[in-house]
Amino acid sequence: MRRILLCTAAALVALLGTAATPVVGAGVEVERPGLEYVAMGDSFSSAAGVLPLDLRAPLLCQRSLVNYPSLIAEATGAALTDVTCGGATTGNFTTSQYPGVAPQLQALGPTTQLVTMTIGLNDSLMFLRLQAACGSAGLTTLGFGSPCQHRYGTSFADTITTTTYPALVEALRAVRGRAPQAQVAILGIPWILPATGGCFPFMPVARGDVPYLRTIQATLNDAIRRAAEVTGAVYVDFSEISEGHDACQRPADRWIEPALLGTNPIIVHPNARGEAAMAEHTLTVLGLR
């Protein structure tokens, strides 16, 4: 697992090294007539690792020119203000994530008409902790058994229920307070792993832990759905359409890249095909087609 993390860090440094110094601020405004659209959220929204990079954006945010917000704006002719940033938590809606990068809520206003986001994966370092804990556990058993489930049990799901869910509700209410006229959509997370089996070592999760991680992801998506429901936001559900497009599928089919031998320098994140699918489904759910 340590080798995987080191390779990922090296790839990220190499990617960052190719970019010019960006304009740092609340976000990059794409001048198009029409719908006033603000894109918020984390690396699944910024499309971290998907080239080409948007060199106008804060470099550490790893924002792609072909992330799903850009594709939605292109399809609708919307005027996009994109403040998505890799690693963002719900807390970064109200606090600066990096020096010179404004809290994401500052991009919203009374004339905002559409808001989209993915958020919640990084709260309590959930995504990083899951990858590190279950990846290292899988390596110790060479992919056999359920070492991660045996060690951590319900702890990850409990954190989602007791900490992430209320943070999501608070964040969505804050969005509504800043943009009372906007249609607000929060996207679920496309399946990262298949229902069973897995693909050790490309995704270094023990075979018996694959259903365990799927359950944790389902718990997170359900928390996102419930938070949307109680705050009047739209939940964009990927549980059905992303089936068969997880990180264990062949390159032509997968929407999420694996930890090893993937095509993105940022592992276990959507690729360009995944971002396009997220844009397309969101457009359909929101009736923007």
Taking only the tens place, the pLDDT of each residue in 164-222 is 999 999 999 999 999 999 999 999 999 999 999 999 999 999 999 999 999 999 999 99
Kindly report whether the peptide bond that precedes residue 52 is cis, defined as omega within 30 degrees of 0: yes
Residue of 96, 32, 114 lying closest to 58 (CA atoms): 96
Q: CA 233 to CA 269: how far, in whole Å? A: 24
Amino acid found at 81: T
The predicted pLDDT at position 1 comes to 36
Q: Enumerate residues 6+ apart whose C-beta is below 8 A from 185.
A: 114, 115, 116, 117, 233, 234, 235, 236, 282, 285, 286
State yes or no: is 43 an active-site residue: yes
40: CATH: 3.40.50.1110
Kindly report whether the peptide bond that precedes residue 201 is cis, defined as omega within 30 degrees of 0: yes
pLDDT of 27 higher than 60: no
- pTM confidence score: 0.88
Contact 147, 137 (CB under 8 A): yes
Q: What is the extent of the structural domain holding 113? A: 2-285
Number of domains in the chain: 1
What number of other Cβ atoms are within 10 A of residue 3's Cβ? Answer: 10
Contact 281, 238 (CB under 8 A): yes
Q: CA 135 to CA 129: how far, in whole Å? A: 10
Q: What is the pLDDT of residues 220-238, one digit of tens each?
A: 999 999 999 999 999 999 9
pLDDT of 22 higher than 50: no
State yes or no: is 242 an active-site residue: no
The predicted pLDDT at position 287 comes to 97
Q: What is the pLDDT of residues 48-83, one digit of tens each?
A: 999 999 999 999 999 999 999 999 999 999 999 999
Residue of 134, 112, 266 lying closest to 213 (CA atoms): 134
Strand pairing class (79-82; 28-30): antiparallel
Q: What is the pLDDT of residues 104-150, one digit of tens each?
A: 999 999 999 999 999 999 998 888 889 999 999 999 999 999 999 99
Choice among 43, 64, 70, 146 that is catalytic: 43
Choice among 64, 70, 269, 281 that is catalytic: 269
